Amino acid sequence: MALYMKAAEILQKAERKQAALKTLVYDSKFANIKQLFALVCETQKFSSVLQEIIEATRLLKLTRLKMPLAQVLVYDLLMGQGLKCGGSWKAVMMKHRSRLQAELARMKVKQKVSRNEDLLPANLQQPHGDQLPRYVRVNTLKTTVEDAVDYLKRDGFSYLGQACRLEDLSLKDRHFVRDLHLPELLVFPPKTDFHDHFLYKAGHIILQDKASCLPAFLLHPPPGSQVLDACAAPGNKTSHLAAVMKNRGRLFAFDLDAKRLATMSTLLLRAGVTCQQLANQDFLKVDPDGPQYRDVEFILLDPSCSGSGMVCLRDNSSADQDKEKARLSSLASFQLRCLNHGLRFPRLKRLVYSTCSIHRQENEDVVAACLQQNPSFRLVPLLAQWPERGLDPLPQCLRADPTKTRTHGFFVALLEKHSEAEDGKQEAAVQISEQEEATPHSPPTSENKPAASEDESEASEMEETPTPAGETDVTASKKRRRKRKKKKKNAAAVTFKAV
Ligand SMILES: C[S@@+](CC[C@H](N)C(=O)[O-])C[C@H]1O[C@@H](n2cnc3c(N)ncnc32)[C@H](O)[C@@H]1O
């Protein structure tokens, strides 16, 4: 019953606009956050349907329930787990079950539809959280993709190989594939639950939406580098960065929220991350010229945003449009300040900016304003084969979207210092030689083109990868010198532990 009470409390607070749904769930300290989050999201999504059922059956009058709790209970009874969590209200609700079911059936007949989904207003009928594939990032700090695949096969999942098209990500039963864009990502049918799985509990796999894996993949700091994650908690991208860096180098991670940072510390420990230095600090107050940070070359900036891309968090109410406008404008100005601040780090080479927002105001507008204020930086064109581009005039950036990319809504831009563009190809070559030779997908640097290939799947594997075969001898010898230099640097690199 605690689950239902807590969900009702959160829905009521969200209705009063006390905070975003996600924040309320996060701050609730409820034991099973995932379960609570799913219940709250779904109840909110169906709230107009649930309200109609409750009113038509006069449930509030007959039971003395209040609307938010009634909505949660009716949702779980008719569309969810069937009130498996029990509690004192279960017996009461069971008495009214037939009438509630009959009312739901009557609504479907009236609207000539067969699924609960079809009762939703048109703007809510797009794919949502639990219809998206379950993405699983293999944590290469603890295992390999091959070993994870073998383990999952032995566990009864059926591996269909490498996906070649987006359609291959529509999976059923216990089938799974390797993602077509991100090499360490496995894709399962929606709602596949790994929370009790050994690989998850042991930190061998991380449950992370595909779009959210893009920033670390695209930034791709080489092992041994100095990297900064500006707004880091709860740390999925931080652990991904550490995996890309092979735990070598230094990874500064900041967050303002002490509680989220504490959660992050636990997650990083489970993921086997050792190169991090966490700080409960305002990123905007970090001194870019401070001696600690003067060698920072890569920054991941994933600041607070409206969360409008998170499918189950989409607020479809038309109320308070003025408030929403003001909120977006304040978020955008915070995001721009963070971005400008990030570009002040003296040795910065590349910065990746991402949001889980679908609003132009928080995405292209912020990046365009920043580029105007920082002419020494430019955008790196990202993954040529990614189907959803940044809005005009920034097609170099990526957007993600449930229908076009089968992910939550997301935005990513990669900014690079002009001077870096010149040796971008060499840098990429060094990175590639330092990664496993066989790594199928490599992230882009500026100006490189997808390698030509007649085989479509091979082309997608070689996406945005400069062709090492095309290097001149001079490039190759520079590469060797750089590699030797880097090896020396790595040997001297200090590994920081979480504080
Ligand atoms: C979108 S979340 C980051 C998610 C994270 N990158 C991940 O992948 O797990 C934004 C985070 O920024 C933090 N934050 C907001 N303002 C900040 C600031 N001025 N300095 C540092 N962190 C900040 C918030 O507490 C929140 O945890």
Residues in the chain, how many?
499
243 vs 478 pLDDT, higher one: 243
Task: Indicate if 356 belongs to the active site.
Answer: yes
* Burial tier of 389 (Cβ tally within 10 Å: 0-12, 13-18, 19+): middle
In the predicted model, what is the mean pLDDT of residues 461-478? 30
pLDDT at 83 over 90: no
| pLDDT class of 35 with cuts at 50, 70, 90 | confident
Residue with tokens 């550490």: 242
For the CA atoms of 227, 229, 233, 235, the dihedral, rounded to the nearest 10 degrees, stands at -40
Is residue 172 part of an annotated ligand binding site?
A: no
In the predicted model, what is the mean pLDDT of residues 314-342? 82
Alpha carbon nearest to ligand 1 atom 21, residue: 255
Of ligand 1's atoms, which has the minimum distance to the CA of residue 235?
A: 9
In the predicted model, what is the mean pLDDT of residues 26-30? 81
Q: What single string gives the DSSP state of each residue in 209-241? A: -HHHHHHHHHH-PPTT-EEEESS-TT-HHHHHH
Which structural domains are found in the chain, ordered by start?
2-124 (no CATH), 129-207 (3.30.70.1170), 210-432 (3.40.50.150)
- 3-state per-residue secondary structure call for 418-431: HHHHHCHHHHHHHH
pLDDT at 230: 98
pLDDT at 352: 98
- The alpha carbon of 171 and the centre of ligand 1 are apart by a number of angstroms equal to 33
Is residue 235 part of an annotated ligand binding site?
A: yes
Please state, in angstroms and rounded to a whole number, the distance separating the CA atoms of residues 394 and 484.
38
Of ligand 1's atoms, which has the minimum distance to the CA of residue 355?
A: 1
Alpha carbon nearest to ligand 1 atom 17, residue: 256
pLDDT at 23: 73
Alpha carbon nearest to ligand 1 atom 13, residue: 231
What would the two tokens of residue 232 be?
């880091």
- The alpha carbon of 358 and the centre of ligand 1 are apart by a number of angstroms equal to 18
In the predicted model, what is the mean pLDDT of residues 426-442? 40
Of ligand 1's atoms, which has the minimum distance to the CA of residue 303?
A: 10
Please state, in angstroms and rounded to a whole number, the distance separating the CA atoms of residues 375 and 382.
20
Residue with tokens 């969900």: 7
Question: Which stretches of 220-342 are DSSP H helices?
Answer: 236-244, 258-270, 321-342
Alpha carbon nearest to ligand 1 atom 19, residue: 282
Q: Catalytic pick from 41, 305, 356, 370?
A: 356
Q: With a threshold of 0.80, does the pTM exceed it?
A: no
Is residue 231 part of an annotated ligand binding site?
A: yes
**Residue 134 · residue 191 · CB < 8 Å:** yes
* Tens digit of each residue's pLDDT (9 = 90 or more) over 199-242: 999 999 999 999 999 999 999 999 999 999 999 999 999 999 99
Please state, in angstroms and rounded to a whole number, the distance separating the CA atoms of residues 386 and 361.
22
Alpha carbon distances (Å) from 113 to 46, 104, 108, 119, 291: 15, 11, 5, 7, 64
